[in-house]
Every structure is written in structure tokens, then in C-alpha cells.
Chain A
Amino acid sequence: MKRPYYIALFLAIVAVLMMTSGGFLMFLTSYRNDVHNQKEIVLNVRKEYLAFNDQTKSFEEQLAKFQEVFGFYFEDMKENQEVTLDTLNQIEQIMIDMDSSTSVLKNTCKSSSFASSEIMTKCAVFQKNYETIINTYVKMILCYNHAVDEYNAWAKDEVLNHFTSQVRNSYLDFDNDGIYLGA
């Protein structure tokens, strides 16, 4: 009677050990895959973040140019109309490029569970800048169109056209402040 009892006990211990080590190995494998996936996302985010930063700089440059050419007076508006529209078109192109080239950033930053320190900071900066840029862009268009209305009322016989933006659906209200001046 004693011998089968020991065999059973031994087998039970071996089974428990195997199950424990198997579970641990599964956990390790899963963890390593997970970390690998995260690294890939981090690489993509890094890449997109760099591109986004460049686009932000371009936006700043074009904004400065817009402020310069837009002018303070109706006479300047008429004189600089061509350059102003060209600048607005370039800014719009930046916005379109920015929308398509930041898909990973947007998706990653929307997920609140992502807690890599690097991603967290990059997301925080991206979210802040993206909202600022799009709000500034919309403000710029509204401002320009309002000025065109004023100009047309002043000039009477010579009419300038509004600028109609194609950027309509790329907005994410990251900070949930509900502020978006666009359509």
C-alpha cells in the first residue's frame, strides 16, 4: 500500500511543478511579446512625432508669413491677396499632411492604458500641439474670411473671395474642453 501512495504523491508534485513552470513560461513569453509590440509602437510613435514636429515648425513659419502678408489695411489686403491665398493653401496642405501622417500617434494617444514614459510625454506634447495648431488654423481661416467680408463692404466694386478649407474631419478634442472653432 505504501509504494503506490508515494508514486501518486511524486506524480502530483511533478504535475504541480510542471503546471507552475508552464504557466510561468507562458507568462514570460506573453510578456516578452507584449514588450516587443510596445517597442514597435514606440518606434512608430518616435518616427511620427519627429515628422509631426517638422510639420509644426512649417506651420509656425507659414503662420508668421500669413501674419506678415495679410496686412493691417484693406489696401494691403488687395495688394497681397495672391500671396495670402498661396500661404493659406500651403497651410492647408500642412494640415492635410499632418492629419494623415499622425494616425499612429492619434490612436496610441487615445488609449489611456499606454503608460510608457516616453510615449506619455510625446503624447502629451502631440495632443497639446495638435489641438493648438488646428484651433489656430481654424481661427486663421475665420479671421481671413471675416476680413474679406469687411473688405468687400469697403471696396464695393471689387470683391475678394472667401477661403474655403477642405480640412474638416481631422479634429480630436484631446483635452475635452469642447473648444473647436471648425465645422
Chain B
Amino acid sequence: MTKLDPEVIGATREIKDLKKEILEEKQKKNSSRKRISKKEKKKVKRMTFLFVLSIFLLITLIPLYMMALNKSILVSFPVVMTLLVLFLFLLALSGIYLFFKMDFKKKKVWTRKGKVIAFLLLGYFLLIGFGTYLLYGNHAVKDFIINKALASMKYQPIASFFYDDKTINEVASTRMLEEGNNTIYEDIVSFDDLKLNQPSYANQYEEEILSNPNHDPYKILKIEGVVENTTYHYQGYMAVVYDPSKVKLATSSGMGMDDAAYGEIIPVMAEREKAIIAMNAGGFYDPDWRSNGGIPHGPVIKDGVLLTNFRKYPANGGIIGFNYDNQLVLKNITGEEAVLEGIRDAVDWGPYLIINGINQIKKQTSTYALARTAIGQRKDGIVLMLVIDGLQSHSKGCTFYEMAKIMEQYGAYNAANLDGGTSASLYEKGQFLNNPFNGERRTIRRLPNAWIVVE
């Protein structure tokens, strides 16, 4: 046996130690590698779960997104969009991680478990997609859900879970038309044009007289009627004068009591007196029916002066005049007495129709219709000047009874008949309102005087 060199022995030991160290180090390295692989596997598992979960959530988000688009009361659009971004982020994160960590060279990337999950996800996607299509892509299903919801009381909000108000209203309207309920609107009543009367006048005549919205100094009323107990139609005009102080007597410049006297036609007297209305007044002496209207019958008073006083006529008449209080005075007195009593303007004629509110002609005693003229005054001072045409096709004329009745209807407190026939004339601002007629033709007669209305 050879004895080993102690140096060799030492070297061998060192080599052994070195080998041991190397081995230990290798073992250490191996064990650390094994630990790292387990950690990564866990991480990959987690990421895979996150990836699958993200896909699941994104699929779930599809109907929610559609609901939000349709303004569902359950889902708000910003929330859905936030969730969408979050899920996409998770999907991208997990997907990228898996892409770099997956070993695609390995044969078994798609394990059996992986295939099952993928199949389930696909099934879920198809289910959700089909459901969403039915809800929002199919009219029949949409109408069915809305109609069924609206047919109930408690479950009506279900329609609002999926659809906006506009869609619901559209479906409801279609249903309404199908049911024919739109015709119900014909039942609506309206009284918008209802005018309930508010009486302000005693009767129609009062209204005609008193309605004067523009406060005109006078108004003209058309008067029509039929003579009682006959078929005679009459027509004429009434001047309603609101201020009696404006009513005066105009006389012809040739009025007198002798042969030299002459009358004037109404337009001449009206022009001279600047009258807006003129109406014939008293009668005149006319023995041959051809006189010139110069000599008036009975007293004529103007501005408190007795101008003429020739043969009083008719017997059933008297003074017809205004005093200085502008009241119509009807009194069977002489001219002198009238002046003394304060009569301002007057003629003498008749008969009196109404005295102090009492109608003097209560019955139709004669149906002798003629053109007529009358003057009256209401209690409120309004003067009524009435002329009815006669002996013409449009107006046969009327009787004293009709004249009194008309005056009474319009509220006259005092009224008297004036000269009628051919003399009957009502003249307003340059033209005759009626048609003076002598039985054969239109005739503008000369007259001794006229009642006028001045401005």
C-alpha cells in the first residue's frame, strides 16, 4: 500500500466539498424554480377566471346597454358605460397577461374544462343576444309586453323597465285606435261660445232707444209694422234726440197770415238754421189743396214770441211745444196763454196721442191709413220724432192708434200728432229719410214751420 500524499488527500477533500456545495446549490436552485412555477400557475388561474368573468359580464351588459339606450327607468346610461369600460379594461388586462404567459407550443391549451367554459359562455351569449333581439328587435314581442303591462294596474312599470315613454305611448295609441276609443273625443262638450243674457233694459224698445255707446246726439230708428185689423204695412223713421234743448222750431221766412205769406221746403229751413235733423210741424191753411204753406193754423211760438195765430185747427188738438225747461207741453190753451206759461217754441195741432203717460188713442176706431208725423218726449227728456210714409207701395201709412202705440212702446210720456199726408217729412243732414208723397208722386212741400235739431 502506497501512502497517499497528504496534499493530494487535502485536494481530494476540497474537491469533494466543492462538489457537495455545487450539488447543494443546484438543489437549492431547483427547489426555488419549483416554488416560482406554482405561484405563476396560481396567477394564471386567477387571470383566466378574470378573463372568463369579464366576458360573462360583458355579455350580461348587452341587454343593460339596450335598456339604457331605451331610457329604462332601471338603468342609467352613464352607469352602463362606466361598467362597459371597466369590464373591457379587465378583459384586456387578463387577456394580455394570458397571451404572454400561455405556452402555445404545448399541445393541450384547450383543456376539457376550458372547452366546457367556452361552450357555456357561447350559450349564455346566444341566450342573452336572442332575448335582447326579442325585446328590442321584434315589434310583436315589444307590443305584447307593453300591452300586457298596460292591461294591468300594478305591473304597468314593467313596460317602463324596458322601453321609453315615447314607445309606450305609441303602442298605447295604436291600441286605442284599434279599440275605437278615439271616437269618444266626440263626446267633449264646449260652452265657450255661451252667451248668457245680462238684461240691462226693460224691453227691446228701451234698448233701441238707450243703447248709445258712442254718445251720439241722436240716432235714427227704422219703424215698421202692420196696421191693426188690416193688412196695411207701414214703414217710417224715428229720430231719437238725446238732448231736448237742441230741439227748436224753425219757421219759413215768409210765414204769415195773409195772401203774401209763403212756406219753405224743409231743406231750405234746415240749411238756414244749420239743422242736422228737420221734421214737419203744424198744419197750415190749405183750402184748395194747392196752397204754398205760408199760413199756419193756430198759434205759432218761436223763442217765446207768438208769431202767428190763424184759425185754430183741428179742434181736438192744442199747443204742442217746448218750454224753457225743454219739456214737451201739450195743452189746449191760447197762444197768449202759452207764451205766459213760458213756452219757448210751439205749434198748434193734434190730436194728442199720449198725455202724462196715458195713451189717448186706446182703440182702433178707424183704419184710415195715411202718412203721419208725431213728436213725443220720454220722462228722461229724450225727444222722439216719428214720420211714417203713406199711400205708397212700401208703406200704406198708419192710423193715430198705431202712432200712439209706437210712441208708447218707445216710452213716450207725452206725444202728439202733427201735420201728416204730403207734409210728412224727416230730413237728416241733406237728405230725406222718408219719401214725401202726395198720393201720385214724390212731392217736397212748402211748409210754414218745422221742428229742427241743431248741433
Chain A interface (Cβ < 8 Å from any Cβ of B) = 30-31, 34-35, 37-38, 41, 53, 56, 60, 63, 67, 70-77, 113-118, 120-122, 124-125, 128-129, 132-133, 136, 139-140, 143-144, 146-147, 150-151, 154
Provide the bound-state CA to CA distance between A149 and B207, in Å.
Answer: 18
Of A31, A71, A122, the most chain B CB neighbours within 10 A belong to A31
Provide the bound-state CA to CA distance between A147 and B200, in Å.
Answer: 8
Given A71-B197, A73-B207, A147-B199 in contact, is the A117-B187 Cβ separation under 8 Å? no
Q: Does B214 contact A (CB under 8 A)?
A: no
Provide the bound-state CA to CA distance between A122 and B185, in Å.
Answer: 8
Query: What residues of A have a CB within 8 angstroms of the CB of B155 in the complex?
Result: 31, 34
Q: Does B203 contact A (CB under 8 A)?
A: yes
Provide the bound-state CA to CA distance between A151 and B332, in Å.
Answer: 39
* Total contacts A-B at CB 8 Å: 107
Q: Which residue of B lies closest to A76 (CB)?
A: B199
Query: What residues of B have a CB within 8 angstroms of the CB of A136 in the complex?
Result: 191, 194
A72 & B204 in contact (Cβ 8 Å cutoff): yes
Residue in B154, B188, B201, B206 whose CB lies within 8 Å of A30 = B154
Provide the bound-state CA to CA distance between A179 and B219, in Å.
Answer: 41
Q: How many residues on chain B are close to A (CB under 8 Å)?
A: 34
Provide the bound-state CA to CA distance between A121 and B197, in Å.
Answer: 34
A147 & B204 in contact (Cβ 8 Å cutoff): no
SS of B interface (majority) = loop
B189 & A60 in contact (Cβ 8 Å cutoff): yes
Q: Does B196 contact A (CB under 8 A)?
A: yes
Quick check: which of B36-44, B145-153, B275-283, B394-402 contacts chain A, the rest being far away?
B145-153
- 17 interchain pairs, CB-CB under 8 A: A34-B152, A37-B153, A72-B197, A73-B206, A73-B207, A75-B202, A115-B150, A117-B150, A121-B181, A121-B185, A124-B185, A128-B188, A129-B187, A140-B196, A144-B196, A147-B197, A150-B198
Query: What residues of B have a CB within 8 angstroms of the CB of A38 in the complex?
Result: 151-153
A59 CB to closest chain B CB (Å) equals 8
Provide the bound-state CA to CA distance between A108 and B354, in Å.
Answer: 69
A151 & B199 in contact (Cβ 8 Å cutoff): yes
Chain B interface (Cβ < 8 Å from any Cβ of A) = 148, 150-156, 172-173, 175-176, 179, 181-182, 184-185, 187-191, 194, 196-204, 206-207
A56 & B153 in contact (Cβ 8 Å cutoff): no
B181 CB to closest chain A CB (Å) equals 4
Provide the bound-state CA to CA distance between A129 and B148, in Å.
Answer: 30
Query: What residues of A have a CB within 8 angstroms of the CB of B152 in the complex?
Result: 31, 34-35, 38
A73 & B151 in contact (Cβ 8 Å cutoff): no
A71-B199, A73-B203 known; 18 new pairs, CB 8 Å cut-off, are A31-B152, A35-B151, A63-B194, A67-B197, A72-B201, A72-B204, A73-B202, A73-B204, A75-B203, A115-B172, A117-B172, A117-B176, A128-B188, A129-B187, A132-B191, A136-B191, A139-B196, A143-B197
Query: What residues of A have a CB within 8 angstroms of the CB of B184 in the complex?
Result: 121-122, 125
A70 & B191 in contact (Cβ 8 Å cutoff): no
Query: What residues of B have a CB within 8 angstroms of the CB of A114 in the complex?
Result: 153
A115 & B156 in contact (Cβ 8 Å cutoff): yes
Q: Which residue of A lies closest to B180 (CB)?
A: A118
A113 & B200 in contact (Cβ 8 Å cutoff): no
Query: What residues of B have a CB within 8 angstroms of the CB of A30 in the complex?
Result: 154
Query: What residues of A have a CB within 8 angstroms of the CB of B154 in the complex?
Result: 30, 34
Query: What residues of B have a CB within 8 angstroms of the CB of A73 in the complex?
Result: 199, 201-204, 206-207
Residue in A53, A77, A116, A143 whose CB lies within 8 Å of B150 = A116
A125 & B199 in contact (Cβ 8 Å cutoff): no
Of A73, A75, A113, the most chain B CB neighbours within 10 A belong to A73
A113 & B156 in contact (Cβ 8 Å cutoff): yes
A133 & B181 in contact (Cβ 8 Å cutoff): no
Query: What residues of A have a CB within 8 angstroms of the CB of B200 in the complex?
Result: 150
A118 & B181 in contact (Cβ 8 Å cutoff): yes
